[in-house]
Amino acid sequence: MNILEVNQKALVNDILKLKQQRKAIILAHNYQIGEVQDIADFVGDSLGLSQEAARTDAEMIVFCGVHFMAETAKILSPDKTVLMPDLNAGCAMANMITPRQLKEMKRKYPEAVVVAYINTTAQIKAESDYCCTSANGVKVVQSIPKEKEILFIPDKYLGDYISKKANRKMILWEGWCPTHRRILAEDILKKKAQYPKAEVLVHPECTPDVIAMADKVLSTSGICRYAKESNSEEFIIGTEIGILHRLKKENPQKKFYPASNLADCPNMKLNNLEKILWSLEDTAFLVEIPAEIAQNAKRSIDRMLKIV
Ligand code: 13P
Ligand code: SF4
């Protein structure tokens, strides 16, 4: 073992000890760096992590993901202490719509039902009728009566995908994920030429031309599940590259190729083992949401959970 490995082992031991003392659990999104995924009690997608947060008996949750995910965990578990190791870990897409912009849209389309992707702030969820995730967006939209107009925020690409799948016209907000937009159709073409036997699995935050080339369009945990169950030996992965750690770990005999190495979400990479330890030591940084916003945001999340 070299000195770096010895240090890392000591760090991991300190985290595990403190985690037990504090009755804490560590939740990590599928895009987190490998060391963080490896130390987590649960690794999953936005929906799975929030559900896990609500289910756990732990008093404290160290949430390794981005801000909207930790907020969702707090909304579903208001009595638990929810911590983010780095408060700067926001989601660029979630920040593409402000409460004022949403209020303006609601004035413009007063009859529209507002469906908000889970990648939104608590304030935006509080102003929305339904929440949805990449795993259940089609089901949520299909549950809304046909005659109702739908305003979908903030991801225009996910909105376009859901609209086609559910055969429903929707008003789409002009937002997107900068990380997924870096995956180009030509990247998929190149990788397909290189690995002709590989199945192409992409996230619905990708652009429509990339989605059109995919064999399967899935949430991050959907990609992990499918890769395990499929008989294919090789996969081209069209989503944030952090997911490759979990895919390779769970399927050591299979091969995974990133569609593009540029699909790297900088905010997802802000968490590390040192910050997790400090977070447990100092009970920092606390995720707090004003009661009225949390209550209204919960309504839109509960509506989603009832449907799925
Ligand atoms: P999932 O809910 O599929 O994990 O996606 C979250 C996300 O931020 C994708 O960029
Ligand atoms: Fe947000 Fe995109 Fe990062 Fe996901 S990958 S957290 S949508 S910026």
Same domain, yes or no, for 30 and 45? yes
Structural domain range at position 115: 94-176+292-307
**CA nearest to 191, candidates 204, 205, 210:** 210
263 located within any domain: no
Best residue among 27, 37, 46, 240 to mutate for probing ligand 1's pocket (most ligand atoms within 8 Å of CB) is 46
Q: What are the E-state strand segments in the chain?
A: 24-29, 42-44, 60-64, 81-83, 113-117, 130-132, 150-153, 171-172, 199-202, 216-217, 234-238, 255-258
Counting the structural domains of the chain, the total is 3
Examine the domain organization and report whether 153 and 218 are in the same domain. Answer: no
pLDDT of residue 4: 83
pLDDT tens-digit profile of 35-90? 999 999 999 998 899 889 889 999 999 999 999 999 999 999 999 999 999 999 99
| pLDDT, tens digit, 9 for 90 and up, residues 191-250 | 999 999 999 999 999 999 999 999 999 999 999 999 999 999 999 999 999 999 999 999
Among 117, 267, 271, the mutation site with the greatest number of ligand 2 atoms within 8 A of its Cβ is 267
Using the mean position of ligand 2's atoms as its centre, give its distance from the Cα of residue 177 in Å.
6
Same domain? For 277 and 130 the reply is no
Tokens at residue 112, please?
């529209």
99 and 82 housed in the same domain: no
Q: Whose alpha carbon is nearest atom 2 of ligand 2?
A: 177
Nearest to 298 by CA among 79, 122, 64: 122
Buried/exposed code over 234-260 (b: 16+ C-beta within 10 A; e: otherwise): ebbbbbbbbbbbbbeeebeebebebbb
| CB-based pocket (< 6 A), ligand 1 | 30, 45-46, 119, 133-134, 177, 203, 205, 219-220, 240
Q: List the structure tokens of 3.
A: 């000195």
Q: Which residue has the tokens 């579903």?
A: 76
Domain-embedded: residue 76: yes
Q: Are residues 78 and 14 in the same domain?
A: yes
Instruction: Looking at the structure, tell me whether residues 191 and 216 fall in a common domain.
Output: yes
What does the DSSP 8-state code read for residue 253? T
* Domain of residue 230, CATH code: 3.40.50.10800
How far is it, in rounded angstroms, from Cα 91 to Cα 65?
Answer: 9
**Closest atom, ligand 1, to C-alpha of 268:** 8
Pair 297, 149 in one domain: yes
Q: What is the dihedral of CA 238, 93, 82, 134, to 10 degrees?
A: -50
pTM of the predicted structure, to 2 decimals: 0.97
> Is residue 197 domain-resident?
yes
Ligand 1 mean position to 163 CA, how many Å?
18
Label residues 44-63 b or e (16+ Cβ within 10 Å = b).
Answer: bbbbbbbbbbeebebebbbb
- Is a pLDDT exceeding 90 seen at residue 154? yes
